[in-house]
Amino acid sequence: MTRTILMASAALACLAGTGFADTSDKRIALSNNYAGNSWRQAMLESWAKVTGQAVTDGVVAAADAFTTAENQATEQAAQIQNMILQGYDAIVVNAASPTALNGAIKEACDAGIIVVSFDGIVDEPCAWRVAVDFEAMGKSQLDYLKTAMPDGGALLEIRGLAGVFVDDAISAGIHAGVEENPNFTIAGSVHGDWAQDVAQKAVAGILPSLPEIAAVVTQGGDGYGAAQAFAAAGRPTPIIIMGNRQDELKWWKEQKDANGYTTMSVSIAPGVSTLAFWVAQQILDGKDVPKDLTVPFLRIDQDTLEANLETTPEGGVANVEYSQEDAIQVIEAAK
Amino acid sequence: MKALNRPWAWSFLAAGLVWLATIWVTKGAASGGLTEAALTFAAFSVLVGIGQMFVITLGPGNIDLSVPATMTLAGTLALKLMDGAEGMVIPGLLATLGVGIAVGLANYALIKALRIPPIIATLSMSFIIQSIAIWSNRGIRIKPPESLASFTTSSTLTVPNVALVALAVSIAAWVLLNRSVYGRQVAAIGQSLPAARMAGVPVDGVRLATYVLCATLAALAGFLLSCFSGGAALNMGNEYLLMSIAVVVIGGSAVAGGDSNVPGIWGAGLFMFLIVSMLNTYQFQAGYRLILTGLIIIAVILLASGRKGGRP
């Protein structure tokens, strides 16, 4: 009896969400290359939360997450081959390398499996890419500064880890923005490795040789360290663009309450894994989805600071989880 | 040229030249700020460097790779214990020293009781320590008490307070190394362990004390660093592993042990900070910057070891 009611309600749920029924027997796997920082931890949590609900609702049959231990392409390629053997219908992948997994990805495509890569994307043409426009993210910082300080000024650029393509892309966006706004000049540039303490040390080292700095352009995970370095040098605090980390938002809130400090914060929400999940679900559902999709940034401004700080866990990163409707919107926008 | 016969002279010479080259660009305007920043960050390198120096002096094979993890654990536990409360400063400091002593004892227990080489023992110990740090607080940033935060970030008579702490530790270390029985015993073990044993040096006691000393100084450095930068982070010790070894070598101490000096660690600590500042100030690309850093370090070590003439 209970069983019949359960099945009836499941059937109702399927009816309510149109198009759900087609993927209810499909199984999706997440292949993840790394879990060792707060961003990745939040990414996995979002996946578990959203896909767990989707499985309960009968949208898909399974959505299992697998993380490799060593962050190595060979290990991840073997993991993907296992997923092919296990008969998953779609594989969502955050890749250790844009090229080194291509062989395994091609095998999956040839076996009729849908492959959706996100964040760490792959360039094998048969896979879908949910990519971040890091260049636009860098440029958006200058767009903000242009309105915040129309007179311009000297900028200090804090870059990420040298040799990683994300660092080059964000920096290229920042430099393109500076070129468009000749009021601004980049007075100095250091590498902060996306870590607060490294950024603090690097900024402290170059600060004495710099003129007055109007603003600091960053890549995320380095804003708090920069603020500490300015304070230690006894310099006035410039506008420091933040990167959605909880310690950065907390510092911003304290400054805002104390002296009306204004800035903005931009980064990618770890919940992008759930967007990739829904994209895979839409493809399995037979929807026509372009191969290249772009993830929206998560931007926090003066008036949304409190709300975001409240929902961000201590030591974590500001996050949003995506719904099926969000995925459909992103797909429509790419067409 | 007689001064250059001192093994530590080259590191100071290198630091001075790099300082001048940096000031040159800014036409002297930055000299005060740059010196202050260099003294501050050199202080952390000096604290971990002195501990590592004593360990390296013990002779071939002796090294402590658990320095970064010890720094992280001490900073994490102490700040969590203090939780920003002024009254808890002394307990926080005691917890720091406790972490150092415990890590040192555990390191030597692995080396002695299980006969594991120090490089493996301290490396595996560092995984355990790092895991305890992650488990104890999940990397949540807790602010230090206001008095500690302002002490570590301010200066007395234009000298940063952390540099004064490091200077006091350095003087004590110099006396310990050059004027105490313990220091002579450390050097004797480094020059020849069998000979030291024959001469009646309590080899195990001295080695145990040295590993405890190294871990305690690393814990102190971690404590000060986390107060200085407004909270402990899980990756805050990372760069101090290579740094602690580099300042010993650049400072003119013998890598093979048995012959060390304290002043060189200061020269090397200042040099390691200033070289990055100089290349940043000259706006070198990251790739060239790393290559130049490597080349300059090799050059300084070659010059510093060239003084020995015929000795290998």
Report pLDDT for B242.
86
Residues A124 and A234 in one domain: no
What pLDDT, in 10s, does the model give residues A213-224? 999 999 988 899
Write b or e for each residue in B147-162: b if 16 or more Cβ atoms lie within 10 A of its Cβ, otherwise e.
Answer: ebbebbbebeeeebbb
Mean pLDDT of chain A: 87
Over 50: is that where the pLDDT of B309 sits?
Answer: no
The first and second tokens of residue B194, run together, are 């069998």
**A186 falls in which pLDDT band (50, 70, 90)?**
very high
Percent of chain A residues topping a pLDDT of 90? 51
Over 80: is that where the pLDDT of A210 sits?
Answer: yes
Residues A120 and A14 in one domain: yes
B interface test, pick of A40, A175, A206 with most B CB neighbours within 10 Å: A206
Residue among A163, A208, A247 whose CB faces B141 most closely: A247
A288-291 contact pairs (CB < 8 A, 24+) = A289/A128, A289/A331, A290/A331, A290/A334, A290/A335, A291/A125, A291/A127, A291/A128, A291/A129
Mean pLDDT over B98-116 rounds to 92
Q: Which residue has the tokens 């993210």?
A: A137
- Paired sense of beta strands A114-118 and A90-94, if any: parallel
**How many angstroms separate the Cα of A248 from the Cα of each of A263, A285, B26, B52?**
11, 41, 31, 34
**B56 falls in which pLDDT band (50, 70, 90)?**
very high
Q: Taking each helix axis from N to C terminus, what angle separates A73-85 and A102-110, rounded to the nearest 10 degrees?
A: 10
Provide the edge-to-edge strand list for the sheet that holds A184-191: A184-191, A153-159, A215-217, A239-240
Residues 39-58 (A) with a CB less than 8 A from some CB of B: none
Over 80: is that where the pLDDT of A5 sits?
Answer: no
Over 50: is that where the pLDDT of A268 sits?
Answer: yes
Q: What is the C-alpha separation between B143 and B156, in angstroms, rounded?
A: 23
Residues A113 and A138 in one domain: no
Residue among A198, A201, A206 whose CB faces B281 most closely: A206
Query: Is residue A311 in a domain?
Result: no
Over 80: is that where the pLDDT of B90 sits?
Answer: yes
Longest distance between any two alpha carbons in chain A, whole Å: 78
Helix (H, G, I), strand (E, B) or coil at A134: helix
Greater pLDDT, A234 or A9? A234
Query: Is residue A309 in a domain?
Result: no
Residues A198 and A213 in one domain: yes
For the domain that residue A120 is a member of, what is the CATH number? 3.40.50.2300
Over 90: is that where the pLDDT of B97 sits?
Answer: yes
C-beta separation of B221 from B78 below 8 A = no
Q: Nearest CA to A126 among A145, A112, A140, A139?
A: A112
- Name the minimum distance, in Å, from the CA of B109 to any CA of chain A: 30
The total of other beta-carbon atoms located within 10 Å of residue A18's CB is: 7
- Name the minimum distance, in Å, from the CA of B43 to any CA of chain A: 13
Residue A141: give the domain boundaries: 134-241
Number of structural domains found in chain A: 2
Greater pLDDT, A68 or B2? A68
Residues A169 and A127 in one domain: no
**A37 falls in which pLDDT band (50, 70, 90)?**
low
Q: Which of A45-59, B21-35, B276-290 has the lowest mean pLDDT?
A: B21-35
**B53 falls in which pLDDT band (50, 70, 90)?**
very high
C-beta separation of B121 from B110 below 8 A = yes
Mean pLDDT over B249-263 rounds to 85
Q: Nearest CA to B143 among B84, B78, B85, B225?
A: B84
Residue among A38, A189, A228 whose CB faces B229 most closely: A228
Flag whether residue A205 sits within 8 Å of chain B, measured between CB atoms.
Answer: yes
Query: Is residue A257 in a domain?
Result: no
Mean pLDDT over A11-25 rounds to 56
Greater pLDDT, B94 or B254? B94
Over 80: is that where the pLDDT of A250 sits?
Answer: yes
| Secondary structure in 3-state letters for B162-200 | HHHHHHHHHHHHHHHHHHCHHHHHHHHHHHCHHHHHHCC
Flag whether residue A236 sits within 8 Å of chain B, measured between CB atoms.
Answer: no
Q: Which residue has the tokens 């940043």?
A: B280
Q: Domains plus CATH for chain B?
A: 2-306 (1.10.3470)
Percent of chain A residues topping a pLDDT of 70? 92
Query: Is residue A178 in a domain?
Result: yes
Percent of chain B residues topping a pLDDT of 90? 36
Residues A37 and A183 in one domain: no
**B306 falls in which pLDDT band (50, 70, 90)?**
low
The total of other beta-carbon atoms located within 10 Å of residue B166's CB is: 29
Task: Write the ipTM.
Answer: 0.77
Report pLDDT for A36.
62
B interface test, pick of A165, A194, A197 with most B CB neighbours within 10 Å: A197
Residues A174 and A110 in one domain: no
| Secondary structure in 3-state letters for A261-276 | CCCCEEECCCCHHHHH
Residue B206 C-beta-side C-alpha neighbours within 13 Å: 26
What pLDDT, in 10s, does the model give residues B31-44? 778 888 889 999 99
Greater pLDDT, A195 or A52? A52
Query: Does A162 sit within 8 Å of B286, measured CB to CB?
Result: yes
Query: Is residue A165 in a domain?
Result: yes
Query: Is residue A314 in a domain?
Result: no
Q: How far apart are the first and last CA of chain B?
A: 22
Report pLDDT for B10.
82
**B310 falls in which pLDDT band (50, 70, 90)?**
very low
A interface test, pick of B26, B83, B229 with most A CB neighbours within 10 Å: B229
Residues 80-109 (A) with a CB less than 8 A from some CB of B: none
Mean pLDDT over A255-273 rounds to 91
Query: Does B236 sit within 8 Å of A208, measured CB to CB?
Result: no
Contacts of B32 in chain A (CB under 8 A): 208
Q: Which of A266-270, B5-9, B263-267, B269-273 has the lowest mean pLDDT?
A: B5-9
Over 60: is that where the pLDDT of A145 sits?
Answer: yes
Please give the full DSSP string across B36-89, using - where no structure is assigned.
HHHHHHHHHHHHHHHHHHHHHHT-TT---TTHHHHHHHHHHHHHHHHTT-GGGH
C-beta separation of B236 from A247 below 8 A = no
Beta strand spans in chain A (E): 27-32, 62-67, 90-94, 114-118, 128-132, 153-159, 184-191, 215-217, 239-240, 265-267, 292-295, 298-300
Contacts of A315 in chain B (CB under 8 A): 138-141
Q: Which residues of B touch A (CB under 8 A)?
A: 22, 25-26, 29-34, 36-38, 40-41, 138-141, 153, 225, 228-231, 233, 235-236, 238-239, 273-274, 276-277, 280-281, 283, 286-287, 290
Report pLDDT for A22.
79
Residues A89 and A195 in one domain: no
Query: Does A228 sit within 8 Å of B230, measured CB to CB?
Result: yes
Residues A276 and A185 in one domain: no
C-beta separation of A105 from A92 below 8 A = no
Report pLDDT for B139.
60
- By C-alpha distance, the chain B residue nearest A316 is B140
C-beta separation of A65 from A48 below 8 A = yes
Residues A127 and A19 in one domain: yes
Residues A8 and A102 in one domain: yes
- By C-alpha distance, the chain A residue nearest B288 is A162
Mean pLDDT over A106-116 rounds to 94
Task: Using only the alpha carbons of chain B, give its radius of gyration.
Answer: 19
Residues 154-193 (A) with a CB less than 8 A from some CB of B: 159, 162-163, 188-191
What pLDDT, in 10s, does the model give residues A303-328? 999 999 888 887 778 888 999 999 99
Query: Is residue A312 in a domain?
Result: no
Over 50: is that where the pLDDT of A13 sits?
Answer: no
Query: Is residue A292 in a domain?
Result: yes
Mean pLDDT over A82-95 rounds to 93
What pLDDT, in 10s, does the model give residues B60-79? 889 999 999 999 999 989 98
Mean pLDDT of chain B: 86
The first and second tokens of residue B5, run together, are 């016969």
Report pLDDT for B86.
84
Residue among A189, A224, A247 whose CB faces B283 most closely: A189
Contacts of A164 in chain B (CB under 8 A): none
C-alpha torsion angle, residues B192, B196, B201, B203 (rounded to 10): 40
What pLDDT, in 10s, does the model give residues B141-165? 778 888 888 888 888 888 889 999 9
Q: B158 — alpha (psi -120 to 50), left (phi > 0) or beta?
A: left
Residues A6 and A127 in one domain: yes
